[in-house]
Amino acid sequence: MRRNSLWQGRRRETHDMNRLNFHQLFDALPSPHMIVDGDLNYIAANPAYEGATGRPRDELVGRNLFDCFPNENPERARLENSIRRVFESGKPDTLAFIEYEIPLSSNPADGFEKRYWSAVHSPLCDTDGKVIFVLQNTVDITELVRLRTVAGSAASVPAQEMSLLERTREIEEAYRTSRSQLDRFRHLFEQAPGLVALLRGPDHSFTFANRAFRVLAGDRELGGLPMRDVFPEAEAKGLLDLLHRVYSTGEVFEGKDLRVLASYPSGGPRELFLDVSFHPVRGEAGEVEGIFVQGYDRTESVRAHQRQRLLIDELNHRVKNTLSTIQSLARPSFRADRDRDEARRAFEARIVALSNAHNLLSDQHWESADLETVLRAELRALDLDRTEISGPPIRLNPKAAIAMAMIFHELASNGLKYGALNMAGGRLAIGWQRRESSVALEWRESWESPEPVAIRPGFGMRMLERIVTGELEGRLEADCGRNGLAWTIVLPAIEIEDIPHLALS
């Protein structure tokens, strides 16, 4: 029966406790407390705070802290910085000794009174752990300071109070010194060109990340974020495994060109290559509490090396193709039944055409060449007053650029020797257009001929067919008549936009 009575009593106490709300508890606190938001506006102040400052809460709530208590001395900056550190770090911050004048009343004309305080600032977080308010517990130590000043010596002041005052000042001086040193270190790390970060706990949450690291991670604040949220693909790539190993074993890790994917708030993941070192951070008992990260972003260097490797491979491939092309030109050009001088001139002209295409591609780092530019390079020796050129801009991939240079050279040479540009009044019209998945080009030579024009089979014709139908997998058609000659060439996938990288044949 007694046990049941006690149980019912405890249930009533618990029920009564549940009926207490925040305001009742806050107002009942015997020492001064107030709460500010991220803009340093008052959210709440308890009666003890009203008594310590001489200002009713109705004059404070909703207003800015420094509008209510203005102060242009350095002590204002110390107070503001202490509160903002709590918002940034999520950890309490203490001002053991601060001199701060407060107005005698809400009317500034009444003047100010110099007061001495000790303040503790604590974070108030939401359910996600984000700091939304800061709670200040303030202790007025003005009387202790005044006692020491009036007495002029320690003998006239109670020993306990004197010890407390001196200890308060010592703590504040030590705090200022350590804070100053910490701020200097933070400034150095913040300005460092390399990546610097401090991770804490088994989730490897960021407690500090310098400017270079924040920019690398999408130019955002990283405080409180675990590493897996910044590099979500890292676990598959081994980054988190490496951090876990350092945290569990206490062994240093150093790696070069470590590949990770960084997650950005907009734009999706980005591939990065980092040189990094992970050093364990130990507590007083020797246990690993976190990891100090140093590194350099080597992404551009690695990609430049990859591009260089691709270009070297492309150059090696292209040299082999060029030598093969020269060999195919030389063999029929110098056959036994041809005039040696004529063969030499034809061979040299084809080599020059090949060289022109190489020069154009070299100017563009072997990425692409403009179709019209390639065409005009091969028409220099022709009478351009009798030539019309039309067509949209088209960027040729390297393979197509060299092939088209050889095609234009053969057609131009034939037109100059046997076609329109060898006839009085002859004209040449060259035009091209895009189709669904190809480019169609027409080479039309016009002149009046007493007899139907016929195409003589020979090396030039065979070369055209080999390049168009073989190398470029296109289609070649010829239309002859008394009014001239027309070549139609249809070529698939010769534009640089149609391929993801340099084309290799």
**Residue ranges per structural domain of the chain:** 23-191, 195-297, 304-498
Residue 153's pLDDT is 45
- The residue type found at 211 is R
SS3 141: coil
Which pLDDT does position 497 carry in this prediction?
45
pLDDT at 63: 93
The 10s digit of each residue's pLDDT in 169-223 is: 555 555 555 555 556 656 666 777 788 888 999 989 988 888 888 887 777 888 8
Q: So what's the pLDDT on residue 316? A: 67
How far apart, in Å, are the Cα atoms of 251 and each of 141, 240, 378, 446? Answer: 48, 15, 66, 82
Per-residue pLDDT of 409-466, as tens digits, reads 888 888 887 888 788 788 999 999 998 889 999 999 988 776 766 676 666 678 788 8
pLDDT attached to residue 228: 82
Residue reference for tokens 């009926």: 19
Per-residue pLDDT at 40: 94
Going from the first residue of the chain to its last (505 residues), give the mean pLDDT of each consecutive group of 10, the final group possibly shorter: 49 52 79 91 91 88 90 84 90 81 67 78 88 88 61 47 52 55 62 83 88 81 83 64 91 84 63 86 87 85 79 67 59 58 67 68 69 86 81 88 85 82 85 90 85 67 84 88 86 61 30
Look up residue 159 and give its two tokens: 């020993």
Contacts with 358 (C-beta within 8 Å, 6 or more apart), sequence order: 322, 402
Strands (DSSP E) found in 79-204:
93-103, 112-125, 131-140, 195-200
Q: Please give the backbone phi and psi of residue 99, each rounded to the nearest 5 degrees, phi first.
A: -95, 120
Q: What is the pLDDT of residue 124?
A: 92
Instruction: Count Cβ atoms below 10 Å from residue 239 Cβ, excluding itself.
Output: 23
Query: Which pLDDT belongs to residue 398?
Result: 80
Distance separating the N- and C-terminal Cα atoms of the chain? 97
- Residue 260: phi and psi, rounded to 5, are -140, 160
Q: What is the DSSP annotation of 185-212?
A: HHHHHHH-SSEEEEEETTTTEEEEE-HH
Dihedral sign computed on CA atoms, order 18, 19, 22, 28: negative
The architecture in CATH of the region 195-297 reads 2-Layer Sandwich (3.30)
- Classify 304-498 by CATH class: alpha beta
Gap between the Cα atoms of 352 and 20, Å rounded? 95
Q: What is the pLDDT of residue 358?
A: 66
* Cα 189 to Cα 177, 198, 215, distances in angstroms: 18, 11, 14
Structure tokens, 30: 């015997």
Place of tokens 């320690």: 154
Please state the φ and ψ torsions of residue 408, each to the nearest 5 degrees: -65, -35
Asked, colleague to colleague, whether 23-191 and 195-297 share their fold, the answer is yes
pLDDT at 148: 55
Please report the pLDDT score of residue 136 as a whole number.
Answer: 92
The architecture that CATH gives domain 23-191 is 2-Layer Sandwich (3.30)
